[in-house]
Amino acid sequence: MSARDDVLSRIRQALGPDRTAPAEVARSYRGAGAHPATGAALMDLLVDRVEDYRATVLRCSPGDVAATVRAALDQGLGGGWAAGDVVVAPGLAQEWRPEGCDVDDDRPAVQLADRAASVTAVAVAIAETGTLVLDGSPACGRRALSLLPDCLVCVVTADQVVGGVPEGLARLDPLRPLTMVSGPSATSDIELERVEGVHGPRTLMVVLAG
């Protein structure tokens, strides 16, 4: 008997004689409703979790998004930036774009690494895990836009914030290219020395409007 036959034989024994009936899947995991659907407590939870991941949150009113995005860029880039340093998602709301930003025009992705920062919206923000989800829509931009520049600024509106993962997944299209962001890109070596910016932005700034 070959190794392949041996493995298949063990699988057949484990499945038993009735292999047509699928095994019942346990559904005891927590669903929606563990957190309030809206309100200040939900916003505070998101801020707490995002900041715990070493990201920075700037809160503002809906009418002050552009000014707050500029402040986030100034802070994230260490005090200032010039025209050509920042690229924004093509579908980002016009009123959210500070002057001096370029719009992503599907240039070769490698050229995005030359930009100091990018600005995008999000599809949903999950308060419990501090996770921002980008779905490749025009407002979020292509995946490379959120990965190659060294600083990422994400604009989140209050109606996009949900309590937990089940509520977040319910709002997403699983066929879209989803990027889930929980803090700046970080990894550690065998000595547990944290290194940021290896696989994505070194700095994450979140503008929370509302």
Structure tokens given for 126 = 């999950």
Tell me whether residue 97 is in a domain.
yes
> CA-based Rg of the chain, rounded to a whole angstrom?
21
pLDDT band at 34 (very low <50, low <70, confident <90, very high): low
What would the mean pLDDT of 108-121 be, rounded to a whole number? 94
Q: Helix, strand, or coil here: 72? A: helix
pLDDT band at 186 (very low <50, low <70, confident <90, very high): confident
Tell me whether residue 15 is in a domain.
no
Domain that holds residue 200: 36-209
What would the mean pLDDT of 169-190 be, rounded to a whole number? 88
Tell me whether residue 111 is in a domain.
yes
Tell me whether residue 113 is in a domain.
yes
Tell me whether residue 143 is in a domain.
yes
- C-alpha distance across the termini of the chain, in Å: 67
Tell me whether residue 60 is in a domain.
yes
- Report which of 155, 68, 159 is spatially closest to residue 120, judged by C-alpha positions: 155
Q: How many domains is the chain built from?
A: 1
pLDDT at 81: 83
pLDDT at 26: 78
The CATH number covering residue 81 comes to 3.40.50.10420
Tell me whether residue 14 is in a domain.
no
Task: Tell me what the pLDDT averaged over the chain comes to.
Answer: 89
Tell me whether residue 190 is in a domain.
yes
Write the pLDDT tens digit of every residue in 41-79. Answer: 999 999 999 999 999 999 999 999 999 999 999 999 988
Give just the sign of the alpha carbon dihedral 98, 99, 100, 105. Answer: positive
pLDDT at 21: 67
pLDDT at 155: 98
What would the mean pLDDT of 138-162 be, rounded to a whole number? 96
pTM confidence score: 0.82
pLDDT at 59: 97
Write the pLDDT tens digit of every residue in 2-33. Answer: 899 889 888 888 777 766 666 777 777 777 76
d(CA 185, CA 147): 9
